């Protein structure tokens, strides 16, 4: 809606990066909305939208008329204010708070339209911005409760340079109002700092936001709430996470924004196949951002080494289970070693031994044993419980830390990965196989890692894929660090 498309462009770009086919559906909820809602003020030029979509690589635009969408009979009924459409009943806890106080029927109607669009377009994934958080939370609930066959991807809020959340409403602001509107996001960031400094009480956090906002002369607070991000139920003390939501009036324009308060530092998940440059990049990213580094592959390697030492056969799963449940793995960062980590298992240092061709040949099979994964995932989650960590592996974004703030999927062609591995062997003066054998080995490992029954190597729906064939380590690192700043809003001066 409206002529400001920045938010939609960012959703399209994200889905373009991750999907084979991108469909944009456009339907303005004019029949089901409140007569005096601000939907009436918006207009959009379809021709302009089509051109923009074409430029962004969209495969199809679905923009039905009201008649096409509802059918003639329903359209006539709706025009006469008779709502005869089948509705699903949303939980009242989610539809009695926040924006529902302005437009009580809004989300009920949105759910109907969402389900209709979903059934017509039948996408694998749908992209929503975190900006309309209540909408996102309700849609997530709807999809989970009714087992709708779709993945909901959450996208960060698109912001103007000043930090103001992009919205078609921004066009209605005068220059002076626009300058005042910047205070909304800046105040949210300040309250987040207060939260990060240890404050958890809703009164204190909400009052802090209110008093920041009073600095803008024309700005009038409509509501500020601190809610559970999943259920939208107001919370008194933030335990694991909270969502601070604000709506204000600036003149006759309503602006909304929100910020997530997570009771831990950020997590970056870097997944991808062997040899895509994950280890070096992850170490560099961790160092640049001042975060901890965790190489989960080294943990699987340590177990593979231990199984080999103990002379246990790969088929003897009960013996492997017993061994892994009793083993103590210990990792420390080590700038001097080639791999960047020193590794101990059951008191013995295995930093070098776990990189041997024998361990490398066995590790995929060990990593496919369910009990090994269960045990190591548990340990990895403990390492990351407080956040502030960059973790590399195969299932980090999909399984170990599905709510990581930033997920990266690093890839490179098999030929390029084999070439890099050969170079590594030469640099370390280790005996190596031929390039052809290395390619075969990599292919085999990709196959085992991506076809195993539990937690296969897979790109998370919300991960950003980076193909590294033509990029060097510094370029990949820089890219990830800049994505981190974008995602975590830390690039905005507060």
Q: Give the residue numbers marked as catalytic.
A: 8
**C-alpha dist (Å) from residue 428 to 284, 337, 474:** 20, 11, 21
Residues 6+ positions from 185 with CB-CB distance below 8 Å: 159, 162, 163, 164, 165, 257, 489, 492
DSSP-derived secondary structure for 126-163: EEEESSSHHHHHHHHHHHHHTT-S-EEEEEPPPB-TTS
* Contact assessment for residue 41 and residue 85, using Cβ atoms and an 8 Å cutoff: no
| Smallest gap from residue 449 Cβ to ligand DC (A) | 5
| Smallest gap from residue 227 Cβ to ligand DC (A) | 33
Q: Which is nearer to ligand DC, 135 or 399 (CB)?
A: 399
Contact residues toward ligand DC (CB under 6 A) are 274, 296-297, 300-301, 363-364, 367, 393-396, 445, 449
CA gap 316, 321 in Å, rounded: 9
CA gap 61, 236 in Å, rounded: 44
Closest CA to 114 of 93, 96, 136: 136
CA gap 130, 228 in Å, rounded: 14
CA gap 122, 151 in Å, rounded: 11
Q: Which is nearer to ligand DC, 452 or 487 (CB)?
A: 452
232, with CB counted inside 10 A (0-12, 13-18, 19+), is buried
Closest CA to 194 of 267, 142, 254, 259: 259
| Smallest gap from residue 370 Cβ to ligand DC (A) | 12
* Contact assessment for residue 397 and residue 269, using Cβ atoms and an 8 Å cutoff: yes
| Smallest gap from residue 380 Cβ to ligand DC (A) | 7
Closest CA to 114 of 126, 124, 103: 126
CA gap 475, 62 in Å, rounded: 38
Q: Which is nearer to ligand DC, 8 or 445 (CB)?
A: 445
Token output for 448: 């085992």
**C-alpha dist (Å) from residue 364 to 28, 317, 326, 359, 484:** 50, 14, 21, 9, 30
- Chain Cα centroid distance, residue 97: 25
| Smallest gap from residue 272 Cβ to ligand DC (A) | 9
| Smallest gap from residue 91 Cβ to ligand DC (A) | 36
| Smallest gap from residue 456 Cβ to ligand DC (A) | 9
DSSP label of 396: I
* Contact assessment for residue 339 and residue 331, using Cβ atoms and an 8 Å cutoff: no
CA gap 188, 154 in Å, rounded: 20
CA atoms within 13 A on the CB side of 50: 5
| Smallest gap from residue 364 Cβ to ligand DC (A) | 4
* Contact assessment for residue 341 and residue 333, using Cβ atoms and an 8 Å cutoff: yes
| Smallest gap from residue 107 Cβ to ligand DC (A) | 38
Q: What backbone torsions phi and psi does residue 118 show, to the nearest 5 degrees? A: -60, -45
């Amino acid at each position: 809606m409206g002529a400001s498309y920045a938010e939609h462009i960012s959703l399209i770009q994200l889905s373009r990066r991750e999907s084979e086919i991108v469909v944009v559906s456009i339907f303005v909820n004019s029949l089901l909305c409140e007569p005096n809602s601000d939907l009436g003020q918006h207009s959009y030029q379809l021709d302009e939208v089509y051109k923009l979509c074409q430029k962004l690589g969209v495969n199809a635009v679905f923009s039905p008329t009201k008649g096409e969408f509802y059918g003639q009979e329903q359209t006539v009924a709706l025009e006469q204010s008779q709502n005869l459409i089948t509705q699903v009943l949303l939980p009242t806890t989610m539809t009695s708070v926040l924006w529902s106080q302005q437009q009580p029927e809004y989300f009920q109607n949105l759910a109907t339209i969402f389900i209709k669009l979903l059934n017509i377009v039948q996408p694998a994934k749908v992209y929503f911005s975190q900006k309309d958080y209540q909408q996102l939370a309700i849609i997530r609930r709807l999809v989970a409760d009714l087992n709708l066959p779709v993945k909901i991807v959450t996208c960060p809020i698109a912001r103007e340079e000043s930090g103001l959340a992009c919205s078609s409403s921004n066009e209605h602001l005068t220059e002076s109002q626009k300058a005042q509107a910047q205070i909304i996001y800046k105040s949210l960031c300040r309250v987040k700092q207060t939260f990060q400094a240890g404050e958890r009480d809703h009164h204190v956090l909400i009052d802090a936001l209110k008093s920041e906002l009073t600095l803008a002369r024309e700005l009038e607070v409509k509501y500020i709430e601190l809610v559970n991000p999943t259920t939208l139920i107001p919370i008194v003390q933030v335990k694991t996470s909270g969502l601070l939501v604000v709506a204000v009036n600036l003149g006759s324009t309503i602006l909304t924004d929100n910020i997530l308060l997570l009771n831990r530092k950020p997590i970056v998940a870097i997944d991808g196949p062997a040899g895509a440059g994950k280890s070096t990049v992850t170490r560099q990213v961790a160092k640049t951002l001042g975060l901890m580094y965790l190489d989960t592959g080294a943990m699987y390697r340590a177990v593979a080494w231990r199984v080999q030492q103990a002379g246990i056969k790969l088929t003897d799963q009960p013996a492997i289970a017993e061994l892994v449940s009793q083993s103590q793995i210990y990792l420390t960062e080590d700038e001097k070693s080639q791999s960047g980590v020193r590794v101990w298992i059951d008191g013995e240092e295995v930093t070098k031994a776990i990189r041997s061709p024998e361990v490398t040949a066995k590790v995929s099979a060990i990593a496919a044993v369910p009990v090994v994964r269960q045990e190591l995932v548990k340990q990895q989650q403990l390492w990351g419980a407080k956040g502030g960590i960059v973790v590399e592996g195969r299932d980090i974004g999909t399984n170990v830390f599905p709510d990581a703030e930033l997920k990266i999927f690093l890839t490179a062609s098999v030929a390029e990965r084999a070439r890099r591995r050969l170079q590594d062997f030469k640099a370390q003066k280790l005996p190596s196989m031929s390039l052809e054998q290395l390619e075969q080995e990599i292919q085999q490992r990709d196959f085992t890692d991506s076809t195993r029954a539990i937690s296969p190597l897979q790109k998370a729906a919300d991960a950003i894929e980076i193909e590294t064939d033509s990029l060097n380590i510094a370029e990949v690192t820089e890219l990830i660090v800049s994505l981190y700043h974008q995602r975590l809003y830390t690039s905005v001066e507060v």
